[in-house]
Amino acid sequence: MDEKKNKQRIGVYVCHCGGNISEVVDVKKVAEEASKIGDVVLSKDYPHMCSELGQQMVINDAKKNNLDKVVIAACSPQFQGPTFMKTLEKAGLSPYVLEMANIREQAAWPHFNEHEKATEKSIELTKMAIEKARRDEPLQKGEIEIGNRVLVIGGGIAGIQASLDLADAGFKVTLVEKEPSIGGKMAQLSRTFPTEDCATCILSPKMAAVGDHPNIDLKTYSEIESINGFLGNFKVKIKRKPRYVYEDKCVACGLCEEKCPVKIEDKFNEGLSQTKAIHIQFDYAVPFKYYIEESPCLRLQYGGNACGLCQKVCPQDAIDFDMKPKYEDITVDTIIVATGFDIFDAREKPEYGFGKLKNVINGLQMERIIVKAAEGVELKQLGKKVAFIQCIGSRDKQIGRPYCSRICCMYAIKQASLVKKMDPSRDVYIFYIDIRAFGKSYEEYYNRAQELGVKFIRGKVAELMENPDNGKVIVKAEDTLNRQMIQGEFDTVSLSVGVGPNAATDKIVNMLKLAKSSDNFIQEAHPKFRPVDTLVPGVFLAGTAQGPKDIPDTVAQASGAAARAIALMNQGKYFFDPMYAFVNSEKCDGCELCISSCPYGAIKMENGKAVINAAVCKGCGVCIGHCPQDAIDMNLYSNEQLIAEVKTALESKKEGEHRIIIFADDMTSYRLIDSVGTAKMAYSSDSRIIRVPSGGRVTADLIVKSFYYGADAVIVADAEEKSSPYSTSKTEMFRNIEIAKKILTDAGIETDRLLGMNFVTVMLVAFVKTVNKYDEMLNQLGTISKEKREKLMINLREKLFGVKHE
């Protein structure tokens, strides 16, 4: 062994934090104790480490003393960690050879009335940081080259807005839409609340702009077949469905449609009218080109010489019945998911008779009726009495949609106003649970509807029936404000259906390995501060794919997503912490157990060995506990580092003392514990906190060894599932705990000593109570005997993986 390599030069700094620390902790003693440890070449205390002078001192010392590791005992690494990482870079060191001992939030503040204990704990925390630093590798930031190519999935208003913003900024956009035209749901709408501008009039110029833009490659009637790769290198396969009409030849003269003998339901009019098997999706479609619907077309159905009238009359020779789907492969740097929504299928609530009672329609049908009425076409007679029924497919646990769809109140108010204005003698009612007029000028618009004479009844309609004598719809509800039952006959009843994620969403979610929230929409990276990002780098969200939204919010979010994508691509490079797992191929025996444990698909087999793609790996570390060969490890939180921290935390445990080891996930629990410290809420000073990337990183092996090295209790603290960045962390954590509990039981150790907890960052009291409860429990249970601890280690790997049973 090269002796020089083993000999390290560690610098230790203990911060007073202007008294915050030094008033409780004997900082001189901490520095003195640290200086006694091997390889520590200098150990100092200083009033303000984060000050300009403090940082400069580190830089000077590092150069003068040739430091290769730096330990700063001060505040939480969550707080000044990034500052000191930059300091190290200035000193010419890797930012990843820094370790911070959190002696402010974890010692001085929570144990403010136990000066001695706080000092002891500070010494131990500093020793733990030194031992971790000793095992730090001088890693560099990961780096990926990024270009300027963007894929936008979905050509509704969200996709259109995002594409235009990106294209205007000079980025190359590929916009993929599954329908024959872009425009999405907005293209079907009549007017938009609260201004009542005509939806077509404001949307069609944007659609045309997309069609003409030199930076936008528009692919309509196309679907995403597969997506592989990662930021800067997403490989996308696109399926172009056959239109059976050449886009470049068709001049939309309309002769084919005239001759086509097959009448079909017009989906764009929500089945309220008919069109032909060959048609243009709607009047201002982009591209304005014909296409043939496969299943009803006689020729495409029966082949041979069947029908073929359209082909005969086409003056451009644009029709080709033999057209096949085409597949195109593109590579993009970032992706914007704008897959949009579908309205709730009201047939799922049979008590409202949708699809059975002819005078019961849904909100989107009402839109089409209003649009067409303005053009002088009557898709359906509305009659003199019209009722709108709210919350159909929203706020309803019975059908798994407990959320508010956000748009239905306002669109019902708009539709009610418009049908009332069309015929002021009409009696218009809205049956609602709560009117949610939250947006700018929305309450005023609601008020104007009231002034028009639209009547609002507070009560959810229970069921609809048809009066067999006249076909009218009988509406029955409790008028909850008057506490009486109310009943009436209406000519038309419109169900204000809610929204859910588009049926195509799941496919995209699976391809990109995105997370979904409990409402089934796509989960954003952070509900407050990263609302358009996803946890997959380079993938952004726009519009209703992320949750129900009205048009203004959709457009704002789409522009936000475009801006986020631009911010990323403009740098030309993407830097990331080298926090990823890797496989020791010498140990790997190719069992493939790790592959299914990775929720991000980062592990692949190459030549019979598992290989982890660093750019795809998010560093949750759950795979480590799945490897029977102990072949997987990760940067920043290596097996050796965590074990060294555990050992050091338990080394100086005195006779009769006990220790609670708390593994805290970096995102939530560690921050929570910082908050507890900041609030000066006291908890047992016998606790030692070890930072881990996720609860799932804490392997059963690590838990068992913690007990072996002297822990009297172990708490694994992880984020609640919803707020965790790692989708499987919670499940894996409890899996590991169950395995560890069995091994504890075998050794005769009480399983109560081991606990898994899920926290959110505000659960301060819960954390304090949990630790103190454990402290009290340990006072009763006492410590664990040496024999029992040693028994844990007998055939540990066999016990962990069940390879050999004895």
CB of 482 vs another protein, minimal distance in Å: 11
Closest approach of Cβ 519 to another protein, in Å?
A: 15
Smallest gap from residue 494 Cβ to another protein (A): 18
Q: Is 84 in contact with 98 (CB distance < 8 Å)? A: yes
Interacting residue with another protein among 4, 64, 397, 786 (CB under 8 A): 397
Task: Decide whether 34 or 495 has the Cβ nearer to another protein.
Answer: 495
**One of 157, 167, 319, 391 touching another protein (CB under 8 A):** 391
CA distances from 150 to 147, 172, 538 (A): 9, 6, 10
Record the tokens describing residue 645, joined without a space: 């921290």
Task: Please identify, using beta-carbon distances, which residue of 351 and 640 lies nearer to another protein.
Answer: 351
- Does 436 sit near another protein (CB under 8 A)? no
Q: What are phi and psi of 646, to 5 degrees?
A: -60, -50
Residue 511 to residues 233, 498, 595: CA-CA distances in angstroms?
15, 27, 16
**610, HSE (Cβ side, Cα atoms, 13 Å):** 31
Q: What is the DSSP string of 383-452?
A: -SEEEEEEEETSSBGGGTB-S--SSHHHHHHHHHHHHHHH-TT-EEEEEES-----STTHHHHHHHHHHH
Binding mask 495-514 for another protein (x = CB under 8 A): --------------------
Half-sphere exposure of 40 (CA within 13 A, CB side): 22
The sheet carrying 473-479 orders its strands as 463-466, 473-479, 484-490
Q: Cβ of residue 758: shortest distance to another protein, in angstroms?
A: 22
- The reply to whether 479 sits near another protein by the rule CB under 8 A is yes
476 lines the binding site for another protein (CB under 8 A): yes
Among 208, 374, 485, 503, binds another protein (CB under 8 A): 485
**Which residue in 251, 374, 422, 462 binds another protein (CB under 8 A)?**
462
Q: Which is nearer to another protein, 338 or 461 (CB)?
A: 461
> Contact between 463 and another protein (CB under 8 A)?
yes
Residues 332-371 that bind another protein (CB under 8 A): 351
**H or E stretch at 764:** helix 764-781
Burial zone of 315 (CB within 10 Å; 0-12 exposed, 13-18 middle, 19+ buried)? exposed
Nearest Cα neighbor of 792 from 734, 754, 741, 732 is 741
303 φ/ψ sector (left φ>0, alpha ψ -120 to 50, else beta): left
**Position 395 contacts another protein (CB under 8 A):** yes
Determine the interface stretch with another protein among 305-313, 393-401, 489-497, 681-689 (rule: CB under 8 A). Answer: 393-401
DSSP state of 117: H
Please state, as a whole number, how many other Cβ atoms lie within 10 Å of the Cβ of residue 451: 9
Using CB under 8 A, which of the segments 56-64, 457-465, 681-689, 776-784 binds another protein? Answer: 457-465
Residue nearer to another protein on the CB measure, 151 or 457 = 457
Part in contact with another protein (CB under 8 A); list of ranges 222-230, 284-292, 478-486, 671-679: 478-486
Residue 460 contacts another protein per CB under 8 A: yes
C-beta closer to another protein: residue 32 or 396: 396
Burial pattern 352-376, b for ≥16 Cβ within 10 A else e, equals: bbbeebebbbbbbbbbbbbbbbeee
Residue 489 makes contact with another protein by CB under 8 A: no
Length of the chain: 806
Please choose, from the candidates 686, 670, 515, 655, the residue with its C-alpha nearest in 3D space to the C-alpha of residue 599: 515
Q: How far is the CB of 366 from another protein (least distance, A)?
A: 22
Residue 664: beta bridge partners?
A: 691, 717
When asked if residue 374 is in the footprint of another protein (CB under 8 A), the reply is no
Stretch in the footprint of another protein (CB under 8 A) among 12-20, 48-56, 272-280, 460-468: 460-468
Closer residue to another protein in complex, CB, 82/400:
400
Q: What is the nearest approach in angstroms of another protein to the Cβ of residue 759?
A: 24
Which of 37, 323, 433, 682 touches another protein (CB under 8 A)? 433
Q: Phi and psi for 789 in degrees, rounded to 5?
A: -60, -40
398 binding another protein? (CB under 8 A): yes
Which residues lie near another protein (CB under 8 A)?
Answer: 351, 391, 395-398, 402, 433-434, 458-463, 476-480, 483, 485
